[in-house]
Amino acid sequence: MLDIGVLGAGSWGTTLALHLYGLGHRVTLWEFRPDAAERLRSDHENKEFLPGIPLPDTLEITSDLGEACHGKDIWLVVVPSHVVRSVVERMKDLPLDDAIIVTATKGIENRTLYRVTEIFQDTCPQWPSERIAALSGPSLASEVCMQIPTSVVVASEFLPTAQRVQHAFFSPYLRVYASEDLVGVELGGALKNVIAIAAGICDGLGYGDNTKGALLTRGLAEISRLGMAMGGKRVTFAGLSGMGDLITTCNSPHSRNRHVGEQIGRGRKLQEILDDMVMVAEGVKTSQSAYDLSKRHHIPMPITEEAYYVLFHDKDPRAAVEDLMMRDLKVED
Ligand SMILES: NC(=O)c1ccc[n+]([C@@H]2O[C@H](COP(=O)([O-])OP(=O)(O)OC[C@H]3O[C@@H](n4cnc5c(N)ncnc54)[C@H](O)[C@@H]3O)[C@@H](O)[C@H]2O)c1
């Protein structure tokens, strides 16, 4: 049994906290707003981000980051990617002792274009890289909290760290694989959200299964191209954090990123859609970062590029699809 601090009480953080608690670990869940933490305690439910799922009385909930991290074997960071830096800044003076730091966040920071574990190393260079890991894969919170069979992958540059987390998180309904390809696992999980927005756009435009099949396949091709240029392994992009998550996110009615795309395809404006959402859709900010990364590494990413123009330059979604269809003819690679 381990002591685990789960940092971030959104849908995914709360789900993982419940999962780990159910496995017998001692879990402390951190919510950054004291009033929201108090509501979690008094409601015994996360009405904002995970309604309908009871929180046990004995699950510790705090808004004190130091308390959530103190003496823990694992610090599990599950806040949206755009706030990771501000949270980790507040953790940099906390004693790490023997803790492993795991992130289950999926995103790429705007401007720096850092993966989440790169933000860790930038902010807290004293954290040893062999104690850093990332968890990713097709894992919608709404299904994991109902104990629907799910498989994920945890990666660390130091395989024994990934294996330690693998054993701590594994259950009969959550199968966990280990990987040494931290770069590939993080990039797959982040970049697929951009393709999910594009898939939603196609749904909103009323296109069919042929379109979706092509989008997923060519989407994975461009994710793999960029990912390998950045040091990820080809096999990882065909794995759970690449193809696996892409299939789930692009098809699920529960995917927020696909939902954003679908609304755009139906003619709504991005800001209006985001204003209606309580929960984060990581793919929106990641589209900007992915576009910038493709330019930095000179990797063609036509679907990502069109998604970026639709989201941030008001390009007509139908024209974006037409432009993709009318690109120069290629050999399939
Ligand atoms: N929800 C899922 O099914 C799922 C599955 C796998 C991975 N993820 C990833 O997990 C990460 C978190 O997603 P989520 O679904 O839990 O998000 P969410 O939108 O459900 O919740 C966001 C959480 O972030 C907190 N937060 C907001 N601003 C903050 C700040 N300044 N400081 C600290 N905390 C702040 C909110 O209080 C809330 O607890 C994302 O990167 C997402 O892609 C989500």
Q: Report d(CA 44, CA 56) in Å as an integer.
A: 7
Measured from the Cα of 12, ligand 1's closest atom is 16
Question: 95 with 173, same domain?
Answer: yes
Cα within 13 Å of Cα(87), Cβ side: 28
Measured from the Cα of 142, ligand 1's closest atom is 3
Task: Note the pLDDT of residue 280.
Answer: 86
Question: 68 with 112, same domain?
Answer: yes
Whether residue 273 is contained in a domain is answered as yes
Q: Report d(CA 197, CA 259) in Å as an integer.
A: 7
Cβ atoms < 10 Å from Cβ of 175: 16
CATH assignment at residue 200: 1.10.1040.10
What is the CA(243)–ligand 1 centre distance, in A? 22
Question: 202 with 279, same domain?
Answer: yes
Task: Note the pLDDT of residue 168.
Answer: 98
State yes or no: is 269 an active-site residue: no
Which tokens hold the place of 269?
A: 């404006």
Domains contained in the chain, number: 2
Q: Which residues of the chain have pLDDT under 70?
A: none
From 141, 163, 180, give the residue that closes a domain: 180
Question: 135 with 269, same domain?
Answer: no
Ligand 1, atom 31, residue with closest C-alpha: 83
Question: 214 with 266, same domain?
Answer: yes
Question: 208 with 266, same domain?
Answer: yes
Which tokens hold the place of 323?
A: 């432009």
From 150, 180, 210, give the residue that closes a domain: 180
Paired residues of 135 in beta bridges: 154
The 10s digit of each residue's pLDDT in 135-170 is: 999 999 999 999 999 999 999 999 999 999 999 999
What is the CA(109)–ligand 1 centre distance, in A? 14
- Pocket-forming residues, ligand 1, beta carbon under 6 Å: 8-13, 31-32, 49, 78-81, 83, 86-87, 104-107, 139-141, 279-280, 282
Question: 52 with 121, same domain?
Answer: yes
Whether residue 332 is contained in a domain is answered as no
The 10s digit of each residue's pLDDT in 297-308 is: 999 999 999 999
Helix (H, G, I), strand (E, B) or coil at 110: coil
For residue 177, give the H/E element and its range: strand 174-179
Domain that holds residue 288: 184-325
Whether residue 330 is contained in a domain is answered as no
Whether residue 120 is contained in a domain is answered as yes
Q: Which of 47, 92, 106, 192 is catalytic?
A: 192
Contact predicate 25/1, CB 8 Å: yes
Contact predicate 174/135, CB 8 Å: no
Residue 160: DSSP 8-state? H
- Phi and psi at residue 155, to the nearest 5°: -120, 145
Question: 218 with 69, same domain?
Answer: no
Longest dimension (CA), the chain: 60
From 154, 180, 206, give the residue that closes a domain: 180
Question: 211 with 153, same domain?
Answer: no
Whether residue 333 is contained in a domain is answered as no
Whether residue 331 is contained in a domain is answered as no
What is the CA(281)–ligand 1 centre distance, in A? 9
Residue 108: DSSP 8-state? B
Q: Report d(CA 64, CA 185) in Å as an integer.
A: 30
Question: 274 with 243, same domain?
Answer: yes
Q: Report d(CA 37, CA 183) in Å as an integer.
A: 33
Strands 150-155 and 60-62: unpaired
CATH assignment at residue 87: 3.40.50.720
Question: 317 with 175, same domain?
Answer: no
The 10s digit of each residue's pLDDT in 59-108 is: 999 999 999 999 999 999 999 999 999 999 999 999 999 999 999 999 99
Question: 195 with 321, same domain?
Answer: yes
For residue 201, give the H/E element and its range: helix 182-204
Dihedral, CA atoms, 288, 289, 295, 299, nearest 10 degrees?
Answer: -110
Which tokens hold the place of 51?
A: 């309604």
Q: Report d(CA 74, CA 305) in Å as an integer.
A: 37
Whether residue 53 is contained in a domain is answered as yes
CA–CA distances in Å: residue 135 to residues 38, 103, 113, 217, 300: 28, 6, 19, 23, 27
CA–CA distances in Å: residue 202 to residues 166, 274, 315, 318: 36, 19, 14, 9
Pocket test for ligand 1, best of 7, 12, 150 (most atoms within 8 A of CB): 12
